Structure 1
Amino acid sequence: MQAEPPSAGVGPDRLQLVAAGAGVGLWDWDVATDALYLSARWKAQLGYAADELPSTRAAWLSRLHPEDAAATRAALADVIAGSAPDFELEHRLRHRDGSWRWMLVRGAVLRGPGGRPIRIAGSQTDITAQKAAERASQEHAALYARVVNDVGDGVLIVAAHGAILAANPAICRMYHATQAELLQRTCRQLFHPEDSAAVVAALESFAPPSLRVRSLRKDGSVFPVELRQAPVTMHGHAAHLLVVRDLSDQFSAHAELEQRVAERTRELAMLLEISRDITSTLDLRPLLHRICQHVAGIVHANSASIMLIEDGSGRKRLEMAASLGTPELVGHHFDLLITSGIWPRLLAGEGIIVSDVRGDEPHAQAYRETVGDLLDSRFHYVTSLLMLPLVAQSGAIGFLSMSHKQPNYFTQHHAGVVTTIANQAAIAIENARLHAQALTLATLEERQRLARELHDSVSQALYGIALGARTARTLLERDPARASEPLEYVLALAEAG
């Protein structure tokens, strides 16, 4: 770009004020002298005061994330070479506390005669929160896809006007059609002409809860299905979650099939709701309690608890972070005996089912060694046990434990259902911890800012009082009648305080 005269009334101070108000940091690089200006806001985005970070290219580029350094340098090189008029990119910079902050960087070049670059200047915006929200959304979408794609029943998302919005692999196999083919059809076209009106009416009225009808494959063959539906929201609009069960091979086992479909539909709807619920809060304690409530509800456990791993004094300990059955033990610590058979498997990411914690199996013995005398007092209600690891990117961060008073209660099906929740719960717990750390850092920074402002105002007042006192002393020696004016000034400063 070519140099232009500044607009009337717009100067550096006003530009700085506008940028600070928008939360934007500014930078300006003199290509010829290699001098770099970094605004105070730019430095504050990385946790530094204006005088704590040098305004040099090295100070900037040395803080680039290793995975982003090459792309950033290439973008600058393209602008300097003239192959790009300006640039916009996202990269990570190392914060003073060691964390990585996502930044959106925009810049443009000012060229002189012959197109020679003179200056490159631009802005920097902290988009860490936006990136975290995008990541949470992606994780939620991935969980949704996993739940829907892995379920054995056919699943359709149907819009209020009947268009098919989504179809899982099971429904495609059921109808001998590709997903693209199903998405081109309407819900009415999937069913026998004599039954399609009843299906549409049931969807519109959200009743009855289940419906048995005849369905049509693309080759015209007819097969019996049972439909279950639940209201959902997709892209901000009301829609229907339609679970389709093929009754071709099981039509005679009518009652049993209804029970299984109802349970699967309940589990699917609950998993989707749980996913939304545990990603809707970043407050750790309520989050942990919600997770316990959800897992206990979905497998009908008598109790559920979350134990988080703590490293300290060269050994690992478990903290009871949340518990439905023994809330009085929240905050209690247990030694994690890594040599016992149950814990290495959990740390390695495997689930554990204990049919009877008072039995002779090795896992039951390892559990008793950990809880000690509490088994016959606080944990007297525990007989069978299901334990699943909470695994984040860094590894196992804790365990999710469910208990039941009946022996041999938990099955591999229970473990499979709860594992889906545990995977999402581990991510949600890590996000909540990061959020708490960010809030603590923000509070500390605000307190430091207020302390600096208070110090500056007190220093200014003391300086005024000293100046007024010296003036009054001089006037008392030379003109006592005029000494009252500086004394009144000193008094006013002191009272303003």
Structure 2
Amino acid sequence: MPQYLTPIARDKVVESMRDGVIVLDTQSRIVDMNPAAQKLMRRSLMEVLGQPLEQFLFRWPDLAKRFRDVLEARAQIVLGEEVEPRYYDLHISPLYDRQEKLIGRLLLLHDITRYKEMEETQERYAKQNARLFQKEQRQRKIAESLRQAMLVLSRSLDHTAIVAEILAQIKKLIPYDSAGFFLQDGDDLRLSKGVGFDYTVVDARIPLDSRNRTVQAFKHKRTEVIPDVRVDPHWHPFSSHEKVHSAVAAPLVIGQEAIGVLTVDRFEAQAFTDEDAQILQVFANQAAIAFKNAQLHQQAQSAAALEERNRLAQDLHDAVNQTLFSAALIAEALPNIWEEDPKHGAQVLEELRLLTQGALAEMRTLLLELRPAALTEKSFGELLQHLAKAFTNRTQIPVNLLIEGDCALPPDVQITFYRIAQEILVNITKHAKATQVSLNFDCAPEVVVLSVCDNGCGFDTKRIPLGHFGLGIMRERADKIGATLEIASQPGRGANIALVWENKG
């Protein structure tokens, strides 16, 4: 192979390379340059031949200074206009002659702009994906906190526990140093519940006629963000001393009615974002439901207590008073009857004894109603005896009471058995037209059965409307303790109702 082909082939390769190739002598003067380098320098070889390279790098003085005396290096550099920069991989290598004498340097410029753009795009996508992931994680965290708060809200009427859970969930999402609930109390907003407050501000009040930012949030039903309370003349001055620097006030709104304000404070200024304000408003709405439910529950309890007192008063009038009145009349006439006919007097005396026993049983039953805790202090057999005597006294219908077994029932089971027995006897009084009632209680360790039978008019079990005779309520009570209510009846043949509870404990 002719030796002259090798340098020709090498020159051909260099000429056709896309990478820029520049050959410098020991004085950093340009000796040779391939077309790619000429294009980069925007000069022809004839224009730059023998000229110092630094002369043509005036647009990049730092670059010229950096690599002026470097014999060997590899680095990434940026060339070109600022609007459209180009990225290069610069490779500097020394050139030696056959005697290992340094005769110059070789500069190789490989355009990596495309790779840098791809790298930047990938990095941009990675950052975008990271932001999306963080946002998704944030949304999941918010959803989980809301779920936890709603779970407590749905399971409890204890607004103290609910509010504590809401404040705990808020802190997982939005760090705070103090937080509290102000509820409307007359012409003020009163601090009802809170955490992180100094003891001196407990039960603190803000007048509703003030220009306070908390009051404004309440009146206008909008969340107020206070970036720096120190420069806000309308922020209440007592929250956690002078340490508080930023705060959010979110109204507690039910429908169109504001009932209070949730405030959250930080010791740092500019601590809350608009997103924080939106999240707090959602939790404030939940808290509003908790406070409203507690208020309605209290009202319902008060109404129920009033209704129960009225019922007991009516029972006292209908049963005990009338019995005692009858007993008083008999007692007044008894001496004369006894004087005229001692045998008849003895019968009347027995009748008087039964009346007073019935009145006593009725009073004991009413006392149990006044103090429900007493329902678990006595054995269920004793409770049935009170019910039976009170029933007979009220209706003059004899009760055949049979109690078998001796076992202690769990409190909730005993109360349920008592209420259902009570309801059955009330139904017999109102609807059965019975002349005889049997009340049987069999208490075995594994199974407890209460059965009530009467010889009254009976009913068609398939045609009883839902809720009639209190059957729906009795079934609900039975279901709560895992018991079954069995009803057997036919028109004209009385009724038999059995409550069966299996002791699985």
Which structure's CA Rg is the greater one?
A: 2
Instruction: Return the structure number with greater relative CO, CA threshold 8 A, min gap 6.
Output: 1
Output the TM-score relative to the length of structure 2. 0.42
